[in-house]
Structure 1
Amino acid sequence: MTKADLIERVYLKTGFSKKESAEIVEMVFDLMKDTLEEGEKIKIAGFGNFVVKGKASRRGRNPQTGEEIEISSRKILTFKPSQVLKGAINGES
């Protein structure tokens, strides 16, 4: 599913214009992005949690040359689905 597909479904379900639907979808994504950039969690009941975690720097190896390299620390985004979403995906009621 693409962003355009989401906009189309919001348009069909809400009755808003396509332009309004696109603005709503963009606004939700912008709010989520801003919240995650600030390091806050996003918890959506019945769906799951988005969390930004830090990864420490570590030693790695270049697979082509075998040379050891330093992999820098960075932030990663994780998603943990709720039990409700897991159940829906697995066909459970």
Structure 2
Amino acid sequence: MNKQELIDAVASATGASKASTGETIDAVLKVVSKAVAAGDTVQLIGFGSFSQGTRAARTGRNPATGQEIQIAAAKTVKFTAGKVFKDAVNR
């Protein structure tokens, strides 16, 4: 399901217009993105949690030349599914 299909499905389920549903979904995604970028955890009970993780700097290898390269440390985004979501998937 892509974003437009999600908007269509939510608009159909709620009876709201596709335009307002699209704006709402965009706003939710923006707020979640800002919160996680700031280091906060966003918990949606029954669905899951979005949080920030870290990946340490490491040495990698260029597959074309075999030369070792340094890969910088990076922040990552983690999603942990909630129990209700896991149970729904495993039914």
| TM-score normalised by L of structure 2 | 0.91
Partner of 1:36: 36
Aligned length: 91
Partner SS state of residue 63, structure 2:
coil
The code of the aligned residue for 1:43 comes to Q
Partner SS state of residue 7, structure 2:
helix
After superposition, where does 1:15-30 map in structure 2 within 5 Å?
15-30=15-30
Unpaired runs of 5+ residues, structure 1, are: none
Structure 1 outlier segments of 4+, above 3 Å:
none
Partner SS state of residue 79, structure 2:
strand
Partner of 2:84: 84
Partner of 2:69: 69
Structure 1 residues 9-50: Cα deviation after superposition (integer angstroms, max 9, x where no partner):
121111111111111111111111111111111111111111
RMSD across aligned positions (CA): 1.1
After superposition, where does 1:55-66 map in structure 2 within 5 Å?
55-66=55-66
Shift of 1:89: 0.7
Please give the alpha-carbon distance, in whole angstroms, between the structure 1 residues aligned to 2:22 and 2:64: 45
The code of the aligned residue for 1:21 comes to T
User: Among the aligned pairs, what percent are the same residue?
Assistant: 36
Please give the alpha-carbon distance, in whole angstroms, between the structure 2 residues aligned to 1:13 and 1:36: 28
The code of the aligned residue for 1:12 comes to S
| TM-score normalised by L of structure 1 | 0.90
